[in-house]
Amino acid sequence: MAPPPPQRKNPSRGPAVTGGNGRPPRRMASRDAAERAAFFARREAAAVLRRVLRGDATRRSAGSIKSLVYSPTVRNKRATFALVCQTLKYLPILKEVLGSSGVLNSKWKKQEELVVVTAYDILFGQGTAVSGSAEQLILANKDILSSALDRICAKRNVSSVEDLVGQKTAVKPKPRFLRVNTLKTTAESVIEELSKIHMVYKDDMVPDMLVLPPGTDLHSHPLVTNGKVFLQGKASCMVAVALNPKPGWKVIDACAAPGNKTVHLAALMNGEGSIIACELNKERAKTLQHTVRRSGANNIQTVNGDFLDIDSKDPSYAEVRAILLDPSCSGSGISTERLDYLLPSHSRDDQDDASTSSRVMKLSAFQKKALSHALSFPSVARVVYSTCSIHQAENEDVVNAVLPLATSLGFELATPFPQWHRRGLPIFEGSEHLLRTDPEDDLEGFFIALFVRKAANGGVEEPSEDVAVEVPRKVVLRRRHGLRTFSSLRLSRMILCSNRVLW
């Protein structure tokens, strides 16, 4: 094959090939763009990884891997998600390689997550790198790192890195559920738009819930980014529907972040009435605020404070009619969806019975305290207690422990979604009113308990026009519309802001 003819030079205009057909420059531009995208994705992945690992180490996570990646602060979500997941998968090997080679010295310790992400990407991933201190560090030591990796493989008598990593739990594909935000649009309008490119149908149980094929990625779809639909699991949506708040009510969402259930409540109330959404964690409170803004709901007040600090006897809360309590829990029902099997703590948890671990027992104690507090509000007619846990200690045991108090205050258990086949574990009389969902149902593992206050004449104080809830005889009372000024969280622990205030 003859060599290509030499390119002629034009000293006054630079290289002769600068455009026109433009294929070489276009390829170079494309390569440069890819390198820049990889550069910034590593920084975003390192920031997410730092939060994930710190939260996992202290068991005080600010969110799941998915929620952190798909937060509004991350721009290149797809690349960042892949980098975080793959780096976690290879993390033990990467740390061993970096440690044995001496590359991760004290100078780089403060940027450990960035070095680890970059090492994964260059050693096992794309291998695309541009100028950057971490990139130059790994590239300059690539031979040393590769030799260290070969020694580790030889020592453990394996032929490939994949044998070192081992198999991680795979996520069983589930349908893609999404909830139509009726504050902004209708299910029919969303179906009309999505059906052009996806197979979509209405769920037969949860109103305004649509079902799409597994693996459907809508995170960047305009319907999602502008808040017309929310990517929310079916089990999660069943919680707000079970509470069934009426337009004009005053409602508390006690542990509200990330806010999907909060804005679902607002939609069920047609944007009328008042919702007080509490979240103690400052970072999660910011996520809650973003969710509220995206939903367009104007009847939600977000509070960076502790629900337990509210004085239920304060006159400001005399007209609170419903409380949704979805407190901190182990997350065992969504651990696969959360990708918890990628976390360093996962292997440690396998050594213990997680359902009776000290962490679950502490969570259970808090949950009992929070549920007792929710039931203490004088005018509350409906309380939903829910978790995304599969552990009896956080579900049936909590309800059973609080049931005597609930009965003394005039509450009884009602049956949310009576047509649903999976009920509570039969450990006490009345557990058939409780609701569980399970991955076998192509859903997350959730638990729902609904407390309804009886009226003085023996009926149920609040009507339930929704077929999703089965309660005893109904007595219709006059709806209260008056709202009082929110107050009484300890000022040292709260920041009150309306949904129009920017963080």
CB 288 within 8 A of CB 277: yes
Residues in Cβ contact with 72 at an 8 Å cutoff, skipping those fewer than 6 apart: 290
Residues in Cβ contact with 73 at an 8 Å cutoff, skipping those fewer than 6 apart: none
DSSP string, 416-468: ESTT-S-B--SSSTTGGG-EE--GGGTS---EEEEEEEBPTTSSBSS---STT
Looking at residue 271, which CATH number applies to its domain? Answer: 3.40.50.150
350 labelled binding-site residue: no
Give the SS3 label for residue 303: strand
Is pLDDT of 479 > 50? no
Give the SS3 label for residue 47: helix
**Which range has the worst mean pLDDT, 278-287, 374-383, 412-421?**
278-287
Adjacent-strand bridge partners of 382: 322, 452
208 labelled binding-site residue: no
440-454 pLDDT, tens digit each: 888 889 999 999 998
Pair 44, 107 in one domain: yes
Pair 89, 32 in one domain: yes
Q: Is the peptide bond before 258 cis (omega within 30 degrees of 0)?
A: yes
163 labelled binding-site residue: no
285 labelled binding-site residue: no
User: What integer pLDDT is reported at residue 15 of this predicted model?
Assistant: 41
257 labelled binding-site residue: yes
Which of 125, 144, 165 finishes a domain?
A: 165
Number of compact structural domains in the chain: 3
41-76 pLDDT, tens digit each: 888 889 888 888 887 776 665 567 777 877 777 888
Pair 95, 192 in one domain: no
Looking at residue 222, which CATH number applies to its domain? Answer: 3.30.70.1170
Pair 189, 155 in one domain: no
Residue 115 within a domain: yes
CB 113 within 8 A of CB 52: no
Rounded Cα distance between 103 and 503, Å, is: 40
Rounded Cα distance between 437 and 446, Å, is: 5
Which of 108, 130, 165 finishes a domain?
A: 165
Residue 2 within a domain: no
Pair 65, 134 in one domain: yes
User: What integer pLDDT is reported at residue 136 of this predicted model?
Assistant: 87
HSE-CB at 363 with a 13 A cutoff on CA atoms is 24
The amino acid at 279: E
Residues in Cβ contact with 231 at an 8 Å cutoff, skipping those fewer than 6 apart: 176, 177, 178, 218, 219, 224
Pair 214, 243 in one domain: no
258 labelled binding-site residue: yes
261 labelled binding-site residue: yes
User: What integer pLDDT is reported at residue 92 of this predicted model?
Assistant: 83
Does pTM top 0.85 for this prediction? no
**Which range has the worst mean pLDDT, 88-92, 102-106, 334-338, 451-455?**
334-338
Residue 350 within a domain: no
Is pLDDT of 458 > 60? no
306 labelled binding-site residue: yes
Number of neighbours of residue 143 by Cβ within 10 angstroms: 10
Fill in the DSSP letter of residue 7.
P
Q: What is the mean pLDDT of residues 19-32?
A: 54
Give the SS3 label for residue 379: coil
Crossing angle for the helix pair 358-375 and 396-408, to the nearest 10 degrees:
20
**Which range has the worst mean pLDDT, 2-6, 125-129, 196-200, 289-293?**
2-6
Give the SS3 label for residue 369: helix
Helix (H) or strand (E) holding 123: helix 112-123
**Which range has the worst mean pLDDT, 104-108, 237-241, 353-357?**
353-357
Number of neighbours of residue 73 by Cβ within 10 angstroms: 11
Pair 254, 369 in one domain: yes
Is pLDDT of 179 > 90? yes
Residue 4 within a domain: no
> Which pair of tokens denotes residue 91?
């993390």
Rounded Cα distance between 18 and 21, Å, is: 9
Residue 112 within a domain: yes
Question: pLDDT tier at 273 (50, 70, 90 boundaries)?
Answer: very high
Query: Which residue did the predictor score with more confidence, 369 or 152?
Result: 369
Rounded Cα distance between 34 and 129, Å, is: 9
Pair 50, 183 in one domain: no
Pair 211, 263 in one domain: no
Rounded Cα distance between 352 and 357, Å, is: 7
Range of the domain at 73: 23-165
**Which range has the worst mean pLDDT, 33-37, 139-143, 177-181, 428-432?**
33-37
Number of neighbours of residue 154 by Cβ within 10 angstroms: 10
Pair 135, 244 in one domain: no
Closest CA to 129 of 144, 149, 138, 146: 138
CB 448 within 8 A of CB 238: yes
> What is the rounded (10 degree) CA torsion for 137, 138, 143, 146?
150
User: What integer pLDDT is reported at residue 400 of this predicted model?
Assistant: 98
Which of 214, 230, 246 finishes a domain?
A: 230
Query: Which residue did the predictor score with more confidence, 262 or 477?
Result: 262
User: What integer pLDDT is reported at residue 31 of this predicted model?
Assistant: 61
Pair 208, 243 in one domain: no
Pair 321, 295 in one domain: yes
> Which pair of tokens denotes residue 497?
């802001």
Residue 1 within a domain: no
The residues carrying an active-site annotation are: 388
> Which pair of tokens denotes residue 194?
């999505």
Residue 157 within a domain: yes
Q: SS in 3 state form for 9-31?
A: EECCCEECCCCCCCHHHHHHHHH
Residue 158 within a domain: yes
358-406 pLDDT, tens digit each: 889 999 999 999 999 999 999 999 999 999 999 999 999 999 999 999 9
Helix (H) or strand (E) holding 154: helix 142-155
